[in-house]
C-alpha cells in the first residue's frame, strides 16, 4: 500500500499506512540537516522511546491513547492505531452546550489521571485530542515527561488554558469545566496546582 501523508510537522510526519492488515498511523521523526548525524540518531531514538513509554503508561492508568503496534527506535517510527475520529479542536465549537461541557470535564479528568501518576503530557491542546467512538483520546506525547513537580503540572494545564483562549475563545466557561473535572479527580492538592496556574498567569502579565 502506498503511504499517505496525513500531516507534516517540524519534528515528525504522520503517515497513514497498514500493518498486519490494519489501518495504522506511522509517526516518523524526521532527521534534521543541521544536527550531526550521530547525535541526531540518538536524539530521535530517545524521543521516540520516551513518547512510546508515556503512551504505554497512560494506557495502563486508564487514559485512552492509540494502541502501539511497533516502535522502531533506529528510524524513529511509532506505528500505532489510526483513530478515525474528530480532533477536539475541530468539533468543540460546533457541539451542543451539554456535550461540550461533558467533554471539557472529561479532558480535566484525564489530565488529573495523568498527573496522579506524574505524567506530564507537555502539549495539551485540543489538536492533540481525538474523539473516537465517543471516547476522548490523547495523542502526541512527544514533549512529555515524568515529574512530581507541581509547577510542571500547572504549566501543563496553563498550555491548555491558552489554547482555549485562542481557539475556543467564545466558550470561556470551557476551561472552568476542565478545571472542575481536574479538581474532582486529582489526588494531590488541586488547590496548590490552581494557585500555581494563577502565579503563572500573573508572571505572564508582568513579563
> Cβ of 38: how many Cβ atoms within 10 Å?
8
Residue placing its CB nearer to ligand ADP in the complex, 11 or 162: 11
Residues 157-186 contacting ligand ADP, CB under 6 A: none
Taking the least distance from each CB to ligand ADP, the nearer of 83 and 193 is 83
Options 6, 56, 73, 194; binder of ligand ADP; rule CB under 6 A:
6
The verdict on whether 123 is a catalytic residue reads: yes
- Asked if 51 is part of the footprint of Mg ion (rule: CB under 5 A), the reply reads no
As a whole number of angstroms, the distance between CA 165 and CA 32 comes to 32
Q: Which stretch binds Mg ion (CB under 5 A): 39-47, 135-143, 148-156, 173-181?
A: 135-143
Region from 56-64, 76-84, 165-173, 191-199 binding ligand ADP, contact rule CB under 6 A: 76-84
The one catalytic residue in 40, 72, 123, 134 is 123
Residue nearest to Mg ion (CB): 140
Tell the smallest beta-carbon distance from residue 17 to ligand ADP (Å). 11
Q: What is the DSSP string of the chain?
A: ---EEEEE-SSEEEEEEEETTEEEEEEEEPP-TTS-HHHHHHHHHHHHHHHHHHHHHHHHTT---PPEEEEETTTTEEEEE---SEEHHHHGGGS-HHHHHHHHHHHHHHHHHHHHTTEE-S---GGGEEEETTEEEE---TT-EE---HHHHHHHHHHHHHHHHHHSTT-THHHHHHHHHHHHH-SS-HHHHHHHHHHHHHHHHT-
Rank residues 12 and 63 by Cβ distance to ligand ADP and give the closer one.
Answer: 12
| Per-residue buried b or exposed e for 3-13, using 16+ beta carbons within 10 Å of the residue's own CB | eeeeeeeeebb
- Asked if 55 is part of the footprint of ligand ADP (rule: CB under 6 A), the reply reads no
Q: Which of 15, 58, 77, 82 binds ligand ADP (CB under 6 A)?
A: 82
Stretch of 29-37, 132-140, 146-154, 162-170 contacting Mg ion, by CB under 5 A? 132-140
Contact residues toward ligand ADP (CB under 6 A) are 6-7, 9, 11-12, 14, 25, 27, 66, 80-83, 87, 127-128, 130, 139-140, 142
Q: Would you please indicate which residues are annotated as catalytic (active-site) residues?
A: 123
Amino acid at each position: 500500500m502506498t503511504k499517505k501523508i496525513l500531516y507534516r510537522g517540524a519534528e515528525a510526519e504522520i503517515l497513514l499506512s497498514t500493518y498486519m492488515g490494519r489501518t495504522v498511523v506511522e509517526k516518523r521523526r524526521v532527521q534534521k540537516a543541521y544536527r550531526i548525524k550521530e547525535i541526531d540518531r540518538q536524539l530521535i531514538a530517545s524521543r521516540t522511546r520516551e513518547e512510546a513509554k508515556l503512551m504505554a503508561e497512560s494506557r495502563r492508568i486508564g487514559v485512552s491513547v492509540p494502541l502501539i503496534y511497533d516502535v522502531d527506535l533506529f528510524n524513529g517510527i511509532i506505528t500505532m492505531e489510526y483513530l478515525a475520529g474528530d480532533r477536539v479542536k475541530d468539533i468543540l465549537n460546533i457541539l451542543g452546550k451539554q456535550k461540550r461541557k461533558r467533554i471539557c470535564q472529561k479532558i480535566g479528568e484525564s489530565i488529573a489521571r495523568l498527573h496522579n501518576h506524574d505524567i506530564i503530557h507537555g502539549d495539551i491542546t485540543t489538536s492533540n485530542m481525538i474523539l473516537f467512538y465517543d471516547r476522548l483520546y490523547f495523542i502526541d506525547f512527544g514533549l512529555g515527561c515524568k515529574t512530581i513537580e507541581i509547577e510542571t503540572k500547572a504549566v501543563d494545564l496553563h498550555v491548555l488554558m491558552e489554547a482555549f483562549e485562542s481557539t475556543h475563545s467564545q466558550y470561556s466557561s470551557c476551561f472552568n469545566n476542565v478545571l472542575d473535572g481536574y479538581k474532582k479527580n486529582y489526588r494531590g492538592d488541586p488547590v496548590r496546582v490552581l494557585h500555581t496556574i494563577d502565579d503563572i498567569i500573573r508572571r505572564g502579565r508582568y513579563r
